[in-house]
Structure 1
Amino acid sequence: MIPTVRPRRLRTTPAMRRLTAEHRLHPAELILPAFVREGLGEPREISAMPGVLQHTLDSLRRAAVEAAESGIGGIMLFGVPAVRDARGSAADDPRGILNVATRAVAAEVGDALVVQTDLCLDEFTDHGHCGVLDAHGEVDNDTTLDRYRAMALAQAEAGSALLGLSGMMDGQVAAVRDALDAAGHQGTAILGYSAKYASAFYGPFREAVDSQLSGDRRTYQQDPANRREGLREAELDIAEGADVVMVKPAMSYLDVLADVASASPVPVWAYQVSGEAAMIEAAAANGWIDRRRTIEESVIGIKRAGADAILSYFAVELAGWLR
């Protein structure tokens, strides 16, 4: 039997494959997560994340300029304070490291990049949880919302164009939207980390932010076994006013990403998290995989599943390859 249908015709040359590709990446669809640590004299490499640094303010500015020149779409800032307490006081202090860094980066590249900030308490608390603890040591959802409102105002006033609500508190989008609008920050956008799972893939990130966490976050982050719940969380955030919704991590949750992307009327983003990047780097360092091809394949897979934009530690490097 001689086949009459030959899909291989569309794979014959690089030009043909490029012409018939169903999905493409563009640098503008990439967002670089970046860490700034208070008190550093010089940038410090994160051992579990080769090539990723805890920045000083000066090195963060340089990294932001490099990111802007690469053509990527945005930069997401995470702050690591020198002093922590139970309520994460440094989070909404205008002199706190994240707010100082936001002002610096917004002044440097705010016209070229969407400057974004992580709105969560875990980096700032001495217990490492994403919220305020009650008398029993449990995260108090509604008291935490008050802290998020204060953080939102501080970050918006520092120049953040988009607030990344990653704490997974019920009602967080509505609380922050109300606080922003009441204070005249109607133009500040909200990214809801809607489907954020209690994942083991966050391990290297804990080093990046010097996490003080003991225990886990399973009472507020989602159970990895649950698929429908991811869509439900996204729909709730959209109803509360989220401008963008997120699925995190990306690699192990492509089904959830596809569900959210097929139903969402707002942009859907995904986060290629620290553990995903670290696995690629480790396997490549051992010669087991082709590093560049694996990075490209992993990110196009996230795009194929429905992400409109992707947070990736490879963003600037990948943008260079795409150009």
Structure 2
Amino acid sequence: MGQPVIIQIEHIYYPIIATVGIPANLLTIVILSRGSCDLSKCITRYLVAMAAADLLVLVFDVILYEIKDAYFPYTFLNYTPICSLNLALLFIFVDCSVWLTVAFTFDRFITICCQKLRTKYCTEKTAALVIAVVCTLSVLENVPIYFILEPRKIIDNVPWSCYVKSSFYTIPIWVAFLWMESILTPFVPFVLILLLNALTIRHIVLANRVRRGLLGNNNSEIHKDPEMENRRKSIILLLSISGSFILLWMVSFTCYICVQFTDTQFMVGNYNDPFTIMEQTGYMLRTLSCCTNTFIYALSQSKFRDKLKNMIKRPLALIMY
């Protein structure tokens, strides 16, 4: 019997994601680190950190987990201790990626809506501190992941691959850990991002109304107003990043809800089961979210787009000539 359809799709999908996403994030890190995209140092810190987290998710999730299992199932990387460590790192970097998106959204909310706090909070130093705290907490939160896994099978007394222990769903301390994990990622980030975006949009709409009233009905003056133009660019960047995150995480979010409020379990392994298909689809969309920010920057930031074009043209010129 052939492989389930969802597995066949994954075997094609994940190599494409790795091929596109890893170079895209590397280019993003290089371009933004040079600081020549007309972005503040504070924003640049967050965007570089987000790109680095996305890059690491692609390495540990897509390459060292999905592609490795599909094409190299019997390498040393599939020994249970190494597999467990890889999964723990995978969850750490996923949490970093998610919570850095929340941190960036909060920073933009402070910048746009809280003028008095803006000068103290929206600084490069604060951004570096927030990024360090997010990464540290992500590590501490996900260390237990290593201990909830057991070998999927034993071959010649060697433990292979990883599988969630059945006791994980029954022992109170692990049940509490699962609830904590689900609440911290993705419940709280979803709520925070939606709330912060709603408040930011409301503030911008009200501020624009007041500014239009002060400028009068002269459309040419309104169109040329630099303050309103800056707000427009900020909201486009903010909504593009957070909106992409919400859409691409929605299926995984639904899976988490199903696990918490029904008898459904993660990683059941029956790839013809509808919930497992939805779960795997959610994972695929989740990894796609690690590739989208580069294209969002290219579409919304003209300076970034120009730098990206130049970096792509240089290798092509060397090849052609």
TM-score band w.r.t. shorter chain: under 0.3
Bigger helix fraction = 2
TM-score (norm 2): 0.27
Normalising by structure 1, report the TM-score: 0.27
Larger-Rg structure: 2
Bigger strand fraction: 1
- Whose RCO is larger (CA < 8 A, sep 6+)? 2
